[in-house]
Amino acid sequence: MFLGTYKYCHILITAQSRTDWKGSKISGKNQFPNQFNWQSANPVTTFLPTPYQTGSAPSGVLGGTMSGTNTIYSQIIDVSKMDNVGLEVAWTGAPTGTFQVLTSCSGINFNAITFNPPLAQPSGSAGGYSVDLNQLPFKYILLKYTNSSGSGVLTVYGQNKDLN
């Protein structure tokens, strides 16, 4: 930034936008990566979401332990000002269970999204996939994994993008 003074006139020069090598404007989209932490307590019953883009406090750990017949939950993420959400889901080991993406407008009642085709579920071997939540019309998302047998570690990273 350059700030110059000429006879009581202040001039403020700032870069309005950057350009790429072709002279086009570089995207100024809001993008927010999310790290989903896992905990055994359902965050809906233990604490409500905090302000925009921070979700509820991630009290758990990055790698969610999938073992026995446990259920693990992510923190609640506020996606109200984001147009698109992408999830990178991966697990190690040989777990068998059900992964769900839950949504809510209130932050109190969460329901699973029905995907067509259905999401592949952990079924006894390591794996993963990407989830495209394009134009998601809900305020909050919460991830849930219920293990039925085997064990492993679940990690999820997210990316929120604003179309503006």
CA–chain centroid gap for 32, Å, is 8
Judge whether 70 lies within some domain. Answer: yes
* Cα separation, 107 vs 51, whole angstroms: 11
Judge whether 3 lies within some domain. Answer: no
Residue 43 has pLDDT above 90, yes or no: no
Number of domains in the chain: 1
pLDDT, one tens digit per residue, over 86-117 is: 999 999 999 999 999 999 998 889 999 999 99
pTM of full prediction above 0.75: no
Dihedral of alpha carbons 90, 55, 133, 74, sign: positive
Judge whether 46 lies within some domain. Answer: yes
Residue 11 has pLDDT above 70, yes or no: no
Judge whether 14 lies within some domain. Answer: no
Residue 157 has pLDDT above 80, yes or no: yes
CA distances (Å), origin 118, targets 80, 99, 100, 133, 146: 24, 11, 10, 13, 16
Judge whether 128 lies within some domain. Answer: yes
Q: What is the pLDDT of residue 49?
A: 59
Can you give the CATH number for the domain in which 65 is found?
A: 2.60.120.380
Which has the higher per-residue pLDDT, 6 or 111? 111
9-13 and 31-35 as β-strands: parallel, antiparallel, unpaired? unpaired
Tell me the residue range of the domain where 64 lies: 29-161
